[in-house]
A and B are shown apart, each in its own frame.
Chain A
Amino acid sequence: TQLLEQSPQFLSIQEGENLTVYCNSSSVFSSLQWYRQEPGEGPVLLVTVVTGGEVKKLKRLTFQFGDARKDSSLHITAAQPGDTGLYLCAEVQGAQKLVFGQGTRLTINP
């Protein structure tokens, strides 16, 4: 069973700072999704990456997929309190189901 490891598990920074969170696997991803979950709600999809080396941007969020498709990163520029939440990466298995990492809990302090 492929294991997804996210790091760090917890991150607390000041508003305006930059940050990067990571998602790593023991083997190759078919494709990878990033979700954000806010308290009291279900996760919501941010992005899907499929091709090795792919970079996608969503406003201040930049997602990278490693060339070998075994890792991914999420970089946030000039973090804002509204970015606070649990960030989850998830591997698509067999196009049928998602296997999630344990998440990075991000807190942005005003």
Chain B
Amino acid sequence: DADVTQTPRNRITKTGKRIMLECSQTKGHDRMYWYRQDPGLGLRLIYYSFDVKDINKGEISDGYSVSRQAQAKFSLSLESAIPNQTALYFCATSDHGLITGELFFGEGSRLTVL
């Protein structure tokens, strides 16, 4: 089983619908992240959290919200989806500072907004 699990893996929805992407991890890491990936743009940070009571905006947080329900769970919501939010979304975790640490990624959630 994957250490970082994302659900759903694929989702097609319509403009204006509310969508939640969920992430759970069994690595015991405190830090969790949501990135989106678009062709030619690499990965861009949406939100990140260092513990249950900590939520931080990334570079592209507009139109998104997150909830850290527990150390192991971090969900991403699109309150009213729009077509330019069509992308591949990744959840990631880390156990400490990234100078010597690394991000561990889930397998991604592909979202299509029609």
Residue of B nearest to A50 (CB): B99
Give B contacts to A, CB under 8 Å. 4, 33, 35, 40-45, 48, 50, 58-59, 90, 92, 97-100, 102-103, 105-108
In A1-52, the 8 Å CB interface with B consists of 1, 4, 6, 9, 30-31, 33, 35, 40-45, 48, 50
Known A43-B103, A92-B98: A102·B108 in contact at CB below 8 Å? no
A103–B48 touching, CB < 8 Å: no
A97–B92 touching, CB < 8 Å: no
Residues from chain A with a CB closer than 8 A to the CB of B103 are 35, 43, 45, 98
A44–B98 touching, CB < 8 Å: no
Which single member of A43, A48, A88 contacts B100 (CB below 8 Å)?
A48
Known A97-B45, A98-B103: A41·B108 in contact at CB below 8 Å? yes
A99 interface hit (Cβ, 8 Å):
yes
Residues from chain B with a CB closer than 8 A to the CB of A102 are 40-42
Q: How far is the CB of B70 from chain A (nearest CB, A)?
A: 21
A97–B42 touching, CB < 8 Å: no
Residues from chain A with a CB closer than 8 A to the CB of B35 are 100
CA distance A14 to B88 in the complex (A): 29
CA distance A102 to B97 in the complex (A): 23
Q: How far is the CB of A105 from chain B (nearest CB, A)?
A: 9
Q: How far is the CB of A90 from chain B (nearest CB, A)?
A: 8
Which single member of B58, B99, B106 contacts A92 (CB below 8 Å)?
B99
